Chains A and B, each alone.
Chain A
Amino acid sequence: MSYATVIPEFVLRQSFIELDARARAQSLMDPGSWRELVGPFDRIESPWLPEQGIAPQFDDGCVVLKGAIAGKATVVIALEGGFQAGSMGEVSGAKMAAALDLATRDSQNGKKTVAVLLLETGGVRLQEANLGLNAIAEVMASILALRQHAPVITVIAGTVGCFGGMALAAGLSSYIVMTPEARLGLNGPEVIEQESGIEEFDSSDRALIWAINGGEQRVAMGVADELVLDDAQKIAAIVRSHVEAGLPAVHRSQQVDLYRERIRALDTSRQIDPLTLRETWGGKTTVSKTRKGVTR
């Protein structure tokens, strides 16, 4: 009997979440196809953190790999959740926007280039405040420019999740892939509790947080596309299938009338049960041609 038959699959599984941003990005690309751009040895770091007594990082928490996935030109841009909670600073934002803009330029010149964003981020890096917020606005503009030519695929694996302004960037993506550990939302639970009170949101209630922001819910209600277990091989396969699928017929963020009607139909006199949105919104909205439901 071979090991494969006696050792359960979950034991052999290579976790994606346990990888750092660089290893995550590498694990998605065709072996030997990629090169890192402006890596740690280039030492392009935040000029604002040292002034505030905070240690910067040589890559500013943003890893850019140019290479191929399924033989197609692709740039993978990964935010490192372990550095300043993956927050967007001036430099990390400029790296991401620049890579997206170059993918657009190559696409316009006939070399269609896909972007994959690995988003583990709390949003704006408050120590760089206004330059972080503008960086996100520029990243959003760059995503929209590239999306006219090639898909932008967002992967949110966890454990930081994707919050703040970067949730808007995720919302503009062609496809969103999430694990059950991942969360996606504009305002994190702590921020809502702080701004609107604990009656509005108890940020210590983990079940509530995942019921609203968790990957399973986001995919089931149709605002994300693929739910995949924390398995590096499976995530790579899902990303590959979306690279190959190309652009969706219509992007979710263009379906304004549909969602406007859905918001109109909500009973706002009480909190909304997330499960009801799985029934009323789920399944029918996703325009992805490659939708296969949960990939286990």
Chain B
Amino acid sequence: MSIQVGLRGKAWFEALTGKNSPMAGDPDSVLTADVKIGEDTARFLCVVPNPQARFPCARRGEVGLEEAYTLAARVNEVIEQNTSADKQPISARPIIAIVDVKSQAYGRREETAAIFLACATAAEAYASARMKGHPVITLVVGQAISGGFLTHGYQANRILAFDDSDVVIHAMHKEAAARITLRTVAELDRLGHEIAPLSYDVRDYAKLGLLHKLLHVEDPDKPAQATVTQVQKELIDAVADARAGSTDLGNRLTSKAARETRKASVAARAHIEEQWMKA
């Protein structure tokens, strides 16, 4: 496990953009930069730990109220620029979410102030960008957990992840999931090896068919120049692939792995459609 969640995200944001500060008016926990990648000027976004955050339950890299609304605003900004200056959807700017989030913020202030709505606005911004032809690419460099991932990253039309033991994509962190499902952590680990959707191993996650690609990178904690160049190339390829595909999430059902692992999804959808036509 990383010493602190979010640090790897920050390291990769810096490596890919050459910048490490928030945009004017934004909290220190959301880094945003516009950087040339291939032929495009992509917008990169990353949530990082902010020990001085106003909200005490959102200081360790969680997605809280400020983070969610800032992401929403910065993504919507790209869509607005596109519709005012450039009406060609084909050249809509790529949006790249660098993801290393341990979770949503678990606090009373957050619940009182309706964090569910905050998270919805950010997810909507990413999804709207995707539906309007922006290639939305998610790069999971560390953790991508639960509501944090739903808010920041899961609406992308292409998801890339590092093939690394510190990369964890999951519905809930292991200790909490064990408590809630009345299992031990050891039991959860054993089940994860047998039942792919339960696994905390990113290679098992890749079997679900939701990932565009698993990236094999050298020492992801300390991005070297060669590795950065390699990842940039993968991002450019993913942008091109997204532009060539549809603007929905259909690729998560049609990928080779999904056709194998998500048979039940495919069957349920086919049955609903068949009966819909008759009803």
Contact = CB atoms under 8 A, between A and B. Distances in A.
Main secondary structure of the interface of B (DSSP, over half): helix
Contacts of B125: 256
Interface stretch (B15-23, B93-101, B266-274): B266-274
Given A134-B210, A145-B131, A129 B272 contact: no
A165 B154 CA distance: 12
A256 B195 contact: no
Interface residues of A, number: 82
Interface stretch (A5-13, A186-194, A229-237, A240-248): A186-194
Nearest to B124: A253
A64 B146 CA distance: 26
A102 interface: yes
Nearest to A274: B112
A84 to B, nearest CB: 11
Given A171-B119, A259-B117, A272-B113, A129 B171 contact: yes
A167 B275 contact: no
Contact of B73 (A51, A148, A256, A271): A256
A271 B111 CA distance: 11
B107 A200 contact: yes
Main secondary structure of the interface of A (DSSP, over half): helix
Q: How large is the interface on B (under 10, 10 to 19, 20 to 34, 35 or more residues)?
A: 35 or more
B245 interface: no
B179 interface: yes
Interface in A162-216: 164-165, 167-172, 184-187, 191-192, 194-196, 200-201, 212-213
Contacts of B180: 126
A266 to B, nearest CB: 6
A140 interface: yes
B150 A168 contact: yes
B127 A98 contact: no
A259 to B, nearest CB: 6
Interface string A214-240: 000010010100000000000000000
B252 interface: yes
A141 B106 CA distance: 24
22 contacts: A37-B272, A37-B275, A51-B194, A51-B195, A98-B268, A129-B198, A133-B149, A133-B171, A138-B252, A140-B123, A148-B131, A167-B116, A168-B119, A184-B116, A186-B119, A187-B110, A192-B108, A212-B108, A213-B111, A253-B124, A256-B76, A259-B121
* 3 smallest beta-carbon distances between A and B, as pairs: A171-B120, A167-B116, A195-B106
